[in-house]
Structure 1
Amino acid sequence: MSDTVDKGKVLIALARTAIAKRLGLGSELVSTEGKTWLEKPAATFVTLTLNGALRGCIGSLEAYRPLIEDVRGNAEAAAFQDSRFTPLTAEEFASVNVEVSVLTELEAMHAYTENIALSTLRPGIDGVVFKFGMYKATFLPQVWDQLPNPVDFLGHLKVKAGLSADFWHPEVLLFKYQVKKYREKDLSTERV
């Protein structure tokens, strides 16, 4: 089993176990023995889907706690605190798919105009953080699957932040990042 698959299985199991525990469901403990990489600070997003539709997505943009804590905390938040959804039920939990994305550090894009921003976006590769004053939003790179056109991607990101799709100001700040994503449905069913 490759190191990437092993890490993915551990991260998915940690997320699933954290949700199960909050639901009062019995679950196997995840062995973290010898996995020192879990103690290193990391930023993650946990995405839940049910029947192919988003069911919750919460994460951290910057590393401020150990990876193990970030995955557990974001898994619980995605299941029970995403304001777009009601809390996940035990019935839904049985069918929900879990995805864990581990983010790279944010990198400023230095895009002083919207045209510069659009020309530097890399569809399918970059996640983007949009900031303007109190307005802030992010899209993971996975969102490119639904919004492959950079104009649409950036426009929807601005709407998510609470602005109009055609808004632009020279003081807009954009940051990009990449992710290593682990999707439960892509991993084999071997035990961790």
Structure 2
Amino acid sequence: MPCINLSDKEKTQLYEVASLAIEQGLASGERRIVDLSGFSNTLRQPAATFVTVLKKGGLRGCIGVLEAIRPLVQDVSHNAYSAAFEDPRFAPLKPDEWRLCALHISVLSQPRLIPVTSEQDLACKLRVGEDGLILSWRGHRATFLPSVWGQLPDPGDFIGQLKCKAGLGKEFWAKDIKAEIYQTTYI
């Protein structure tokens, strides 16, 4: 399933919603409730998103979901707040940090299962720079967004580091490992 086609206006609205979610969190410590009535049908349809907070270009928080569970605009608001204040890798964002931050929003297509016979087979099927990857095996699960190709451009490294993120060894492979790919629209 392809990514949602967003107009420039809709992309701007999503960025504003993400920013407002963080600003309200800084001001009140509470999540912002997004009223859907002021948004297009596109922004009201269910979609899975990730929101990344970057401070001076470095990762400061990233939270998202892989399945569409909320309307797009509400998912962006929810994940922006979570990325700023609930990413377990970082302390909650402070007001003086916010002015040094930028946001990246990724709207995910529906993940698609791809049959693979080996890690090398998977590496050959991945489109560098385009595909996000979800690896699952017996309760272990992790994903890399397509943007991670910028740091890990070699498919073998990309897969190996993702296996580590999932709590599996870099050299681990099992015939019943599940691989899913997806694409993103970046904002």
The reply to whether TM is greater than 0.5 is yes
TM-score normalised by length of structure 2: 0.90
Matched, 1:12 2:18: no
How is 1:127-138 mapped onto 2 (pairs within 5 angstroms)?
127-138=132-143
Q: Which aligned segments of 4 or more residues in structure 1 are displaced greater than 4 angstroms?
A: 29-32
Deviation at 1:5, TM superposition (A): 2.0
Report the counterpart of residue 38 of structure 2 in structure 1. Answer: 33
Matching residue within 47, 53, 59 for 1:54: 59
Q: Report the Cα distance in structure 1 between the residues aligned to 2:106 and 2:171, rounded to whole angstroms.
A: 29
For structure 1, which segment, 85-94 or 146-155, has the greater mean C-alpha deviation from structure 2 after superposition?
A: 85-94
1:75 corresponds to:
80
Matched with 1:172 is: 177
1:145-189 deviation line (CA, Å, top 9, x unaligned): 00000000000000111111110000100100000000xxxxxxx
Gapped regions of structure 2 (runs ≥ 5) = 1-5, 29-33
Once superposed, what is the RMSD of the aligned Cα atoms? 1.7
Match of 1:24 among 27, 35, 57: 27
Residue by residue, what CA displacement relative to the aligned partner does 1:28-66 show, whole Å, maximum 9, x if unpaired?
x99962522221000000011011101111001011111
Cα distance, 1:87 vs structure 2: 0.8
Percent of paired sites with the same residue? 41
Measure, in 2, the Cα distance between the counterparts of 1:159 and 1:141.
17
Partner of 2:170, secondary structure, is: coil
Shift of 1:113: 1.3
Tell me whether 90-99 or 168-177 shows the greater mean CA deviation.
90-99
Consecutive unaligned residues in structure 1, runs of 5 or more: 183-192
Q: Structure 1 residues 34, 170: CA separation in 2 closer, same or farther (over 3 Å shift)? A: closer
Q: Once the two structures are superposed, what CA deviation does each residue of 1:74-94 show, in whole Å capped at 9, x if it has no partner?
A: 001101111111111111111
Query: How many matched pairs?
Result: 177
Pairing 1:135-146 to 2, within 5 Å after superposition: 135-146=140-151
